[in-house]
Amino acid sequence: MRRATSPEAPEVSAIATTARSRLPFDKLGVLIAAMAGSAAFLPFATFRVNRIVLGEGRALFAALPFGEAAFLAIAIAAGIVLAVSKTPARWRLAVSLAILVALCVAIGHASTFLTPPGDRMARVSPGSGFWLSIFAFALLAADAIVRLKLAPIVRIGILAAVALFLALLLASGTLSDLSILREYANRGDTFWREARTHLALALGSLAVAVVAGVPLGIVLHGRRGWRAPVLSVLNVIQTIPSLALFGLLIAPLAWLAANVPLAAALGISGIGAAPAMVALFAYSLLPVVANTVVGLDNVPPAADDAARGMGMTDWQRLVGVQLPLSFPVILTSIRIVLVQNIGLATVAALIGAGGLGVFVFQGIGQSAMDLVLLGAVPTVALAFVAAVVLDATVEMASTRSARRGRD
Amino acid sequence: MVEIDDLTKDYAARRVVDGVSFTVGDGEIAAVVGPSGSGKTTLLRMINRLIEPSSGSVRIDGKDTRAVPPHVLRRGIGYAIQGYGLFPHRTVAQNIATVPRLMGWARARIDARVDALLDLFQLPAAEFRHRMPNSLSGGQQQRVGVARALAAEPNVLLMDEPFGALDPIIRTKAQSDLLAIQRRFGTTIIVVTHDIEEAIHLGSRIAVLDAGKLVQYATPADVIARPATPLVAELIGGDRPFRLLSLGKVVDLVEAGPASGEPIRADASLRDAYAELLWTRRDVLPVIDATGTVVGRIRRDAITVRAGAPS
């Protein structure tokens, strides 16, 4: 029986592999091509006579001088062919980054091309075709980076290069006629102030959550009976919608400010930074506490026993063995919390805490989408940078011992 | 010297270790054996107070273990366990230096001690000092674990199934290495094992535990020849004559006289000699010493007499 079937099995799988490798196209590439292809039928830029009227779409060839539009169209077509066919990841990364650069420069040129000379009221903003193309080729680049299995430090290097390129592009004035930068030009000072507030809210609440959450996790690790109740409470907090939690905190903090002189002296009040910090802190606790507990639980029992058996005190064991070994897991929670807080801090603008959300809500109030973008784009960029940098750090922390072992 | 006196441990209603008393003399190896659940690990962990006894006492070199705080006590006692428990985030050298650092030794003294131990355990210091534990083989990790346990020159070493995860060939080598190092330092060792073969090979005395009680504490020869209870007899199993022979050396039975064929070394066990006689269908074997010089012969009849039950 075995003799009959065993020579057959590898044959069948060999056929399957050749069939798979004979597939003439890349699966994700087809999706990317579909997105980039359909983007050609969507407006590349949107033109409005002023910042609040409804815009009219402009196709690629209407938004740019013919030569430049043709160049971009050919580049995108080449990118689509490359994405669909089976090509080395290195090529896919290089070409997708080049197309992203071309798209960014082109949208700047389109805004200058579409704005009548001397007109300060007209607004040109990126159209849905532009956004879809950017998304498609960013996906292609991200996929290529994953396939290349780049070292964490190289990924941070690529991120820094992209950031530097964007900074140079912004400083060069190529994008100055774009609506979002027109809004920025009107609010230069407040933009940086709100950006700083935004970071202070996100990082400050994270810092407090780590300072409080890691010790709480350590305590829960030692007392199994307390685990379920404490983690349930933190879980319930996570389920409260952010806007509701911000609102719920107004009353108690206002009472505190009115009745405790010290609280008022510290600047605590019902609205503003205090309730925002408290709410962001409350959201941050669950990931930090839960991951600290899990990280400590996963310390190899033999290493822990050896540490005790060799005469380490509880404190020496915690600092020298348990925390270093659970560090990658705790760092993962910091990544989750930071990205989450950068997003949630936007909502804090509603209770007067400031931050980039200020522009989002002002923009909604004035139906000025450019202003919404001025708040939203930097928020997304911040969250993205935080995610990439911390992912790379987590990877470095967890492979550190393995890499040192190979030296 | 380790004196264990009426040591008892109760968990709720269950008595895990029940009034165990025995003494391990200086430089002796006590092998603690017993079926699983017999309380041998609990007994071992009460010696360095990883588990506090319910009653009874332990004296090391005449000093009650309760006279000092537990962590200070443990720094003075070597501790090696199954799975080794190496710290994965620290280098081999840092692992071995753990207890000397806790005791505040000077840097230079620690470095010298680490290098000496690495060489002693056949792990060339230059090559292994900076390696991480996960880059070592199982046998190498085991040696680092024992080197770490001996780093602060303890008089007493506790071991819990230290060779349990090794394959048979490496295990035999590790046992011989341990014996050689024990002879060199004169360390008193208490080793827990479930393997009676290992206990006979390592132990100067064997302590047999059954359901928390010490049922026999005697030399390996005594345990094999006169098992105190049916359980001990069962542990020893049917091949008692061969276990007895494995305790003796060829040198014990060497006599003058002629013999031919492949010789056997004087330091081989009687069991190996007997196996060689049976396998090559001979009645006598020439015996050589470590330098290869023939020192006499050994007869099958002489070995057979040694394999029988004592009268």
Q: What is the pLDDT of residues B122-145, one digit of tens each?
A: 999 999 999 999 999 989 999 999
Could you tell me if B182 and B131 lie in one domain? yes
Q: In A173-187, which ranges are continuous DSSP H helix?
A: 179-186
**Helix, strand or coil, per DSSP, at residue B21:** strand
Contact A311 B84 (CB under 8 A): no
B7, B154: one domain: yes
Q: Are residues B138 and B41 in the same domain?
A: yes
Sheet architecture: strand order including B294-299:
B264-265, B284-288, B294-299
Inter-chain touch B74–A308, beta carbons under 8 Å:
yes
Question: Strand order of the sheet with strand B14-24?
Answer: B14-24, B2-11, B55-60, B63-64
pLDDT for A210 equals 95
Note whether B132 contacts A305, CB cutoff 8 Å: no
A113-122, A346-355, B34-43, B275-284: which range is least confident on average? A113-122
Q: Could you tell me the two tokens for B90?
A: 């620290």
Cβ contacts from A onto B, under 8 A: 79
Q: In sequence order, what are the beta bridge partners of B55? A: B8
d(CA A178, CA A47): 10
Are B228 and B281 contained in the same domain?
no
List the end-to-end C-alpha distance of chain B, in Å, as a whole number: 33
Q: What is the DSSP string of A294-322?
A: HHHHTS-HHHHHHHHHTT--HHHHIIIII
- In terms of C-beta density within 10 A (0-12 exposed, 13-18 middle, 19 or more buried), how is residue B7 classed? buried
Give the Cα separation of A240 and A235 in Å (integer): 9
- For residues B255 and B191, state if they share a domain: no
3-class SS at B3? strand
* Domain extent at residue B233: 2-238
Question: Within an 8 Å CB–CB cutoff, is residue B71 touching chain A?
Answer: yes
**CATH number for B294:** 3.90.1280.20
- The answer to whether residues B53 and B174 belong to one domain is yes
Output the CA–CA distances (angstroms, integers) from residue A226 to A229, A317, A333, B34, in the order listed: 6, 22, 21, 38
Interchain proximity A321–B87, CB inside 8 Å: yes
Q: Helices (H), strands (E): how many in chain B?
A: 14, 13
Highest mean pLDDT, choosing among A100-109, A347-356, B104-113, B264-273 = B104-113
What are the pLDDT tens digits along chain A (407 aa)?
344 444 444 444 444 444 455 667 888 888 988 998 888 889 898 888 887 778 888 888 888 888 888 999 999 999 998 888 888 888 899 999 999 999 999 998 888 888 888 777 888 888 888 999 999 999 999 899 888 888 889 999 999 999 999 999 888 888 888 888 888 888 888 899 999 999 999 999 999 999 999 999 999 998 888 888 999 999 888 888 888 888 888 888 888 878 887 777 777 777 778 888 888 999 999 999 999 999 999 999 999 999 999 999 999 999 999 999 999 999 999 999 999 999 999 988 888 888 899 999 998 888 888 889 899 999 999 999 999 999 998 888 877 644 444 43
CB A202 within 8 A of CB A281: no
Mean pLDDT for all residues in chain B: 92
Last residue of a domain, one of B238, B272, B291: B238
Q: Using CA coordinates, name the residue in chain A closest to B97.
A: A310
Q: Tokens 């501790």 sit at which residue?
A: B79
Q: Which of residues B179, B214, B238 is at a domain's end?
A: B238
β-pair partners for B249: B269
Beta bridge partner(s), residue A331 = none
Residues in chain A with CB shorter than 8 Å from the CB of B73 are 311
Q: Are B74 and A309 an interchain contact pair (Cβ–Cβ within 8 Å)?
A: yes
Query: What is the domain-level CATH number for residue B205?
Result: 3.40.50.300
A298 and chain B: CB distance < 8 Å anywhere?
no
Would you state the pLDDT for residue A23? 65
Asked if B101 has any chain A CB less than 8 Å from its own CB, the reply is: no
Give yes or no for a contact between A364 and A305, defined as CB atoms under 8 angstroms apart.
no
**Signed CA dihedral, B66, B68, B74, B76: sign only:** negative
Residue of B nearest to A313 (CA): B71
Do B124 and B60 lie in a common domain? yes
Q: Do A401 and B74 touch (CB under 8 A)?
A: no
Compute CA A213 distance to the chain's CA centroid, rounded to the nearest angstrom: 23
More confident residue, B248 or A16: B248
Residues B18 and B157 in one domain: yes
| Domains of chain A, earliest start first | 20-149 (no CATH), 188-406 (1.10.3720.10)
Boundary-marking domain end, from B214, B238, B262: B238
Distance CA A67, CA A58 (A): 16
Which residues in chain B (237-296) have CB-CB distances under 8 A to chain A? none
Q: How far is B89 from chain A (nearest CA, A)?
A: 6
B131 vs A304, A321, A405: nearest CB? A405
Written as six digits, the tokens of A325 are 């070994």
Residues B96, B70 share a domain: yes
**B126 in contact with chain A, both atoms CB, cutoff 8 A:** no
Contact between A347 and A246 under an 8 Å Cβ cutoff? The reply is yes
Interface list for B 181-210 with A (CB within 8 A): none
pLDDT tens track for B196-231: 889 998 999 999 999 999 999 999 989 998 899 999
Q: Looking at the DSSP assignment, which residues form a beta bridge with residue B207?
A: B32, B217
Looking at the structure, do residues B93 and B212 belong to the same domain, yes or no? yes
Q: How many CB atoms lie within 10 A of CB A406?
A: 8
Instruction: Please report the pLDDT score of residue A5 as a whole number.
Output: 40
pLDDT at B131: 93
B255 shares a domain with B227:
no
Looking at the fold, whether B45 and B97 belong to one and the same domain comes out as: yes
Which residues of chain B does A303 touch, with a Cβ-Cβ cutoff of 8 Å? 85-88
Query: For chain B, what percent of residues have pLDDT higher than 70?
Result: 100
Total tally of structural domains belonging to chain B: 2
